[in-house]
């Protein structure tokens, strides 16, 4: 395998995997088939090739379990850099060349975040407008997570060096499925600076992702995010010893949670979408 590998977790979504794979003509790719039923499993097997490996799980690992498998498989592979791509998302042209240029430009980097483009049927929107590269030290990343929530968007925009995936890297509890990816990124962010670059590497299929979230942001998801922010504040304390700073972050998190809980009970009892409060400044 190459020194840079893209992993696509899959479950009964072979048509989305095919779309994603078509955008990776020069990547080495591992597709982790999480016990998909036929005909999806057969369709995935048919994608096997010189650069494409299929790993089939006969029993479901769960969505988070499949992410964990991809990370552990990569570490054991001996390759140097890993990237996730969610089935249905696609890379921009020349994505591998962009990764290689970025790694060459920032040789000390071990955790790199690119820009992405969110796509709907009616519009496209760049996730964040970064004019120039900037480095986020671990302490600042933890502050940003505590205040803003998911500052990394998701697993997909990031390149991970094998060095930062060895050791105690985890996705949190399996039942915290909404924020599991950010808990994983939090573990990495506290260990190494995060190099942000302005280039757009991929397109995120927003409609596809809504399938994972039952098309709405639930109260349960909101409370999970609050827990994730609290863990960032605790990690900030571990790194700095600054209890006063940690308590200030917790106060802002509590303010954010209190704001979000001011929701009519009929909404919480029904199927209406839950609207999260804005970030705490």
C-beta separation of 162 from 75 below 8 A: yes
Other Cβ atoms within 10 Å of 98 Cβ, number: 17
**Concatenated DSSP letters for 45-79?**
HTT-BTTEEEEEESS---HHHHHHHHHHHHHHHT-
Determine the Cα–Cα distance for residues 209 and 89; give it in Å rounded to an integer. Answer: 9
What per-residue string of b and e applies to 162-173 under the rule 16 or more CB within 10 Å gives b?
A: bebbeeebebbe
Determine the Cα–Cα distance for residues 187 and 208; give it in Å rounded to an integer. Answer: 27
Beta bridge partners of 5: 28, 82
H helix or E strand, kind and range, residue 94? none
Give pLDDT, residue 123: 87
Give pLDDT, residue 271: 54
For the chain, list residues with pLDDT below 70.
173-175, 177, 209-218, 263-281
Residues 6+ apart with CB under 8 A from 110: 160, 161, 163, 164, 192, 193
Q: What CATH number is given for 1-88 in this structure?
A: 3.40.50.1100
Determine the Cα–Cα distance for residues 130 and 134; give it in Å rounded to an integer. Answer: 9
Determine the Cα–Cα distance for residues 253 and 247; give it in Å rounded to an integer. Answer: 10
Q: What is the tens place of the pLDDT at every residue in 210-249? A: 655 444 556 777 888 899 999 999 999 999 999 999 999 9
Rg (CA), the chain: 19
Determine the Cα–Cα distance for residues 160 and 233; give it in Å rounded to an integer. Answer: 23
Other Cβ atoms within 10 Å of 131 Cβ, number: 6
Burial class (CB in 10 A: 0-12, 13-18, 19+), 130: middle
H helix or E strand, kind and range, residue 116? strand 111-119
For the chain, the structural domain boundaries read: 1-88, 109-274
Give pLDDT, residue 281: 47
Give pLDDT, residue 157: 94
């Amino acid at each position: 395998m190459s020194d840079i590998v893209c992993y696509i977790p899959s479950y009964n979504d072979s048509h989305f995997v095919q779309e994603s794979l078509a955008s990776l003509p020069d990547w080495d790719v591992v597709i982790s088939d999480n016990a998909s039923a036929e005909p999806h499993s057969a369709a995935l097997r048919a994608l096997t090739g010189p650069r494409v490996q299929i790993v089939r799980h006969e029993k479901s690992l769960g969505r988070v379990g499949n992410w964990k498998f991809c990370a552990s498989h990569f570490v054991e592979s001996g390759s140097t850099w890993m990237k996730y791509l969610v089935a249905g998302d696609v890379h921009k042209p020349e994505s591998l060349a962009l990764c290689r240029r970025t790694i060459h430009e920032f040789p000390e980097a071990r955790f790199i975040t690119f820009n992405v483009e969110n796509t709907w049927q009616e519009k496209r929107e760049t996730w964040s407008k970064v004019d120039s590269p900037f480095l986020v030290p671990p302490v600042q990343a933890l502050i940003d997570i505590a205040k803003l929530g998911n500052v990394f968007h998701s697993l997909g925009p990031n390149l991970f060096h094998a060095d930062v995936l060895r050791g105690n890297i985890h996705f949190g509890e399996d039942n915290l499925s909404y924020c599991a990816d950010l808990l994983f990124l939090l573990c990495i962010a506290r260990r190494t600076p995060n190099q942000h670059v302005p280039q757009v590497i991929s397109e995120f299929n927003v409609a596809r992702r809504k399938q994972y979230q039952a098309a709405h942001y639930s109260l349960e998801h909101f409370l999970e995010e609050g827990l994730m922010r609290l863990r960032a504040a605790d990690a900030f304390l571990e790194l700095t010893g600054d209890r006063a700073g940690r308590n200030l972050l917790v106060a802002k998190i509590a303010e954010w949670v209190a704001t979000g809980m001011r929701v009519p009970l009929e909404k919480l009892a029904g199927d209406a979408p839950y609207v999260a409060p804005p970030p705490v400044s």
